[in-house]
Amino acid sequence: MTNRPSGVRRSSKQTFRRRLVIFRSLFRQPCTADELIGIVNGEFGQDGYPSAAAMALKHDLDALKREYGCEIRFDRSLRSYSLHHVGDFAILDLPRESLEALTFLDTNFPEDHMLSAFVSVQKLLRQMRMLLPDPSRSVPPSPLTIRSFGRQQRVFDAPTMRTVRKAVENRQQLSFSYTSNFELNGSRKHTVAPYGLFMRDGHMYLDAVLLHVEPAGNAVPYTTVEYRLERIVKKSAQLLPTVIPAERPPQPRFNLVYTLDAAVARRRDLATFFPESTIEYHADDTATVRAVVTNLWTTRQVLMRYGGACRVNEPAELVTMFRQAASELAAKYAESDEQAS
For residue 82, list its beta bridge partners.
73
User: 201, 218, 243: which is the final residue of a domain?
Assistant: 243
For residues 9 and 54, state if they share a domain. Answer: yes
pLDDT confidence of residue 75: 95
pLDDT for position 117: 54
Q: According to the model, what pLDDT value does residue 9 have?
A: 47
Q: Residue 215: inside a domain, yes or no?
A: yes
Q: Say which residues have a Cβ less than 8 Å from residue 282's Cβ, sequence separation at least 6.
A: 288
- Which of the listed residues 243, 274, 301 is the one where a domain comes to its end? 243
Q: Tell me if 129 is assigned to some domain.
A: yes
Q: Would you state the pLDDT for residue 2?
A: 41
- Total domains in the chain come to 4
Report how far residue 4's alpha carbon sits from residue 293's, in angstroms, rounded to the nearest whole number: 73
Kindly state whether residues 234 and 258 are assigned to the same domain.
no
Q: Same domain for 220 and 264?
A: no
Residue 315: which CATH number? 3.30.70
Asked whether 27 and 86 are in contact (CB, 8 A), the reply is yes
> What is the domain extent for residue 304?
254-336
Q: Is the dihedral of CA 244, 249, 252, 253 positive or negative?
A: positive
CA end-to-end distance (rounded Å), the chain: 107
Q: What pLDDT is stored for residue 116 in this prediction?
A: 47
The predicted structure's pLDDT at residue 3: 46
Is residue 147 domain-resident?
A: no
Domain boundary among 243, 265, 281: 243
Residues 165 and 239 in one domain: yes
Asked whether residue 152 is domain-assigned, the answer is: no
Instruction: Give domain status of residue 322, yes or no.
Output: yes
Q: 10-residue block means of pLDDT along the chain (341 residues)?
A: 44 89 96 96 87 92 96 95 94 85 81 59 86 68 68 68 93 94 76 91 87 82 89 94 91 94 95 94 97 92 94 96 94 74 59
